[in-house]
Amino acid sequence: MADEGRRAVSGEVLTGITDGVGTITLNRPDRRNALSGGMIEALAAAMAEMEASREVGAIVITGAGRAFCSGGDVQDFYEQGGEGAGSAEVDLAAVERQRRHQEETVGRIYRCRKPVLASIPGAAAGAGIGLALAADLRIGSPRTVFATAFEAVGLAGDFGVAWLLERLVGPAKARELMFLNPRIRGEECLALGLVNWIVSEADLEQRTHEIAAQLANGPSHALDGMKQNLLRAPHEDLTASMSTEVLLHKATGLTDDHVVAVAAFVAKEKPRFASGWHAEDP
């Protein structure tokens, strides 16, 4: 097993690589992993590094302590005089800075060429929901709670939350979650499709790693192609989707992964994909 250990991108974001799984941990447990400016920059840097690393086949994003991410730091808002810092006009420089932050975090997670799994030990709120929903898959425990939270602080919402919710739970439910800000817990998160799995709190870390390691050892070219197809599908009609889909399908048919998988299928064996990460590889 290869393990680079856990290291800090900044004190507020930790990273590590084990069994081909790159883990990014939001690390402000005393503030429920609320996002500071430095934390957002560090998360963006960590995502870029993990996506580019040849040692990483899948990425996990999680939070330290008993929360995933509580969104923007409301205490900071208060100390600065609110989101607008007491100004009567929108700060256009701040708008551009936040657009960049959102694109380099939520945008990068959503479009990442490697599978991304969000492991949600507790609260995901506000911008934290955007980070979680941008991932390909999500796993939580009975302690997992989703709350949009923007209504509670008088803000319209950011970090792609409305867009992601509308596509995941539908327009009516997305409006309910945005307008009324209910707290959605555990099994209800599962029923709505906000998470893919709910496991016991004690099993969350192990099950997260098992799923991520399976992805890391999978056929990376095929998984990448699947994600590209899924990202395009909502924006194309069936004919257009099938037309572009078949190009990737035929391209993955030229890979060693396909040859290995077909041979293993015929032999009734488990495939060992050439593009996957393997524990005994140097």
* Residues 110 and 196 both lie in one domain: yes
15 — pLDDT class (breaks 50, 70, 90):
very high
* Residues 81 and 143 both lie in one domain: yes
281 in any annotated domain: no
* Residues 205 and 224 both lie in one domain: no
List, in sequence order, every residue forming a beta bridge with 69; answer none if it has no partner.
124
Residue 234: domain span: 220-267
* Residues 130 and 245 both lie in one domain: no
Q: Which amino acid is at 30?
A: D
Characterize the bridge pairing of strands 21-26 and 3-10.
Answer: unpaired
Query: What is the average pLDDT across 260-281?
Result: 79
Residue 23 in this model has a pLDDT that exceeds 50: yes
* Each residue's pLDDT tens digit, 225-248: 999 999 999 999 999 999 999 999
Q: Is the pTM of this model over 0.85?
A: yes
94 — pLDDT class (breaks 50, 70, 90):
confident
Long-range contacts of 227-236 (CB under 8 A, 24+ apart): 227/113, 227/115, 227/136, 231/110, 231/111, 234/167
Residue 7 in this model has a pLDDT that exceeds 80: no
Query: What is the average pLDDT across 41-68?
Result: 96
* Of residues 16 and 90, more confidently modeled: 16
What is the Cα–Cα distance from 203 to 180, expressed in whole angstroms? 32
Q: Say which DSSP state 136 is in.
A: S
Counting the structural domains of the chain, the total is 2
Share the mean pLDDT of the chain: 90
282 in any annotated domain: no
pLDDT value at position 3?
Answer: 47
What is the Cα–Cα distance from 42 to 86, expressed in whole angstroms? 27
28 in any annotated domain: yes
The runs of H, that is alpha helices, within the chain are 37-52, 74-79, 92-102, 108-111, 127-134, 161-169, 171-180, 186-192, 204-216, 220-232, 238-252, 256-267
* Residues 255 and 115 both lie in one domain: no
Per the listing, tokens 């979650």 go with 177
* Each residue's pLDDT tens digit, 182-210: 999 999 999 999 999 999 999 999 999 99
235 in any annotated domain: yes
Domain boundary, last residue among 185, 201, 216 = 216
* Residues 111 and 243 both lie in one domain: no
* Residues 234 and 182 both lie in one domain: no
Residue 82 in this model has a pLDDT that exceeds 70: no
Residue 84 in this model has a pLDDT that exceeds 90: no
